[in-house]
Structure 1
Amino acid sequence: MKKSKLHQFIFTCAMALVMVYAMICYNIALNIGHMTNQIFVLALEELVIMWPIAIVLEWFFVEKLAVSLAMKKVDHQKDSQQYIKLTICSMIVCIMCPIMSFIATLLFKDAGIQIIAVWIETTVFNFPMAFVWQIFFGGAFVRKMESYFIRQIA
C-alpha cells in the first residue's frame, strides 16, 4: 500500500518521538550513572528541542539517503519486505545516530575544545542503544502501531 505524504509525516513524527525520548533518557542515565523515575521527567525538557530537530533531519535528508543506501544492499527479487524495512531502519540509525549525537554534544555537553572526542564518545555509547531500540523495541512498536492503524482504516 502506497503511503500518503500525511501518513509518512505522521509516521516520521511518531518514530522520531519514540527514538529521541528513549535516547535522551538513556543519555541522562549515562550522565548520572543510573536510571531513576526522575529521568523520564527530565527528558521532556530536552525532548522539546531534540524532537523537532530529528523530524526535520529525517524528513528532509536522512530518509532519502538511508533508502538510497539500503537499496544498494538488498535484492528486490529475493529479499522479503521485512528484510528491506530492517535494512532501511539500520541505515537510518547509521546516519541519525552520529548527527543527533553531534547536536546533543553541542547543545547539552560542555565539551569545549574536546568537542570531537566527546562527540565520538557520545556516538559510540549511543549507537548500540539506538540500533537495538530501533530494531527490537521502540521502532518495532511504532511499525506495529502503523500496521494496526492501516488495518483499521482499510
Structure 2
Amino acid sequence: MPRNKFQTIIFTLLMTFFMVYVMICYNIALEMGSMKNQIFLLAFHEMIIMWPAAILIELLIGERLTMKLVKRIVTPVMEQPIFMILLISTMTVCVMCPIMSLIAVILFRNPGTEIVSVWINTVVFNFPMALFSQIFFVGPLIRMIFGILFKSETRKAVKIK
C-alpha cells in the first residue's frame, strides 16, 4: 500500500485505469447484450474522459471519504492486513461507484428527465461488478504490480492513515 504522496498517485493511476477499463467494458457489454471482442477497443473511447475523472475524484474526494468511513468501522480485531484491504476496497467502491456512475449517466446515457432513475439503475448494475472486480481481480493485480514497483516499502502491514 502507498506510503507517501508519490506512491499514492502511482497506485491511484494504476487502480483507476484498470477499474475504469473493466467497468466501461462491462457497461458496453450490457448495452450490446453480450461480450464481444470489439468491446475491448471500444472501451478506450470512454477511457479518455472517465479515467481522468476517476483520478481526480479519487485523489480529491474518494481517498479522504473512504478513509473516514474505514475509521468509523475498524476495530482492533480488524487491523489485520486482510481485513484492512477488504474494508478499504469495499469502502472505495461504496464511494466511487455512485459518483462514477453518475458521471457516466450524464455523459453517455442521455437520461433526460429520468436522470435519477437511470443513475440508480446504473449503480445497481455497476456496484456488484465493481466490488467483485476490486476484491477478486483488479485489487490483487494492482497490489501485486505495486509490490513489484515498490518492493522493500510494501512489505509492512497496512495501516490507516
TM-score (norm 2): 0.90
Relative contact order higher in (CA < 8 Å, ≥ 6 apart): 2
Question: Structure 2 regions of 5+ residues with no counterpart?
Answer: 155-161
Q: Report the equivalent of 1:89.
A: 89
Q: Indicate if the aligned counterparts of 1:18 and 1:139 stay in contact, CA closer than 8 A.
A: no
Count of residues paired in the alignment: 154
Structure 2 residue matching 1:3: 3-state secondary structure: coil
Runs of 4 or more, structure 1, over 6 Å off, are: none
For residue 110 of structure 1, what is the amino acid of its counterpart? N
1:7 and 2:11 matched = no
Between the aligned partners of 2:96 and 2:150, the Cα distance in structure 1 is 26
TM-score (norm 1): 0.94
Q: Give the CA deviation at 1:148.
A: 2.2
After superposition, the Cα gap between the structure-2 partners of 1:36 and 1:59, relative to the gap in structure 1 and judged at 3 Å, is: same
Q: Indicate if the aligned counterparts of 2:2 and 2:8 stay in contact, CA closer than 8 A.
A: no
For residue 151 of structure 1, what is the amino acid of its counterpart? K
Structure 2 residue matching 1:138: 3-state secondary structure: helix
Between the aligned partners of 1:120 and 1:52, the Cα distance in structure 2 is 23
Between the aligned partners of 2:126 and 2:91, the Cα distance in structure 1 is 15
Q: Give the CA deviation at 1:146.
A: 1.1
Question: Structure 1 regions of 5+ residues with no counterpart?
Answer: none
Q: Report the equivalent of 1:58.
A: 58
User: Where does 1:41-56 land on structure 2 (aligned, <5 Å)?
Assistant: 41-56=41-56
1:51-109: CA deviation from partner (whole Å, max 9, x where unpaired): 00000000011111101111111124653022112101100100110110000000000
RMSD: 1.7
Q: Give the CA deviation at 1:149.
A: 2.1
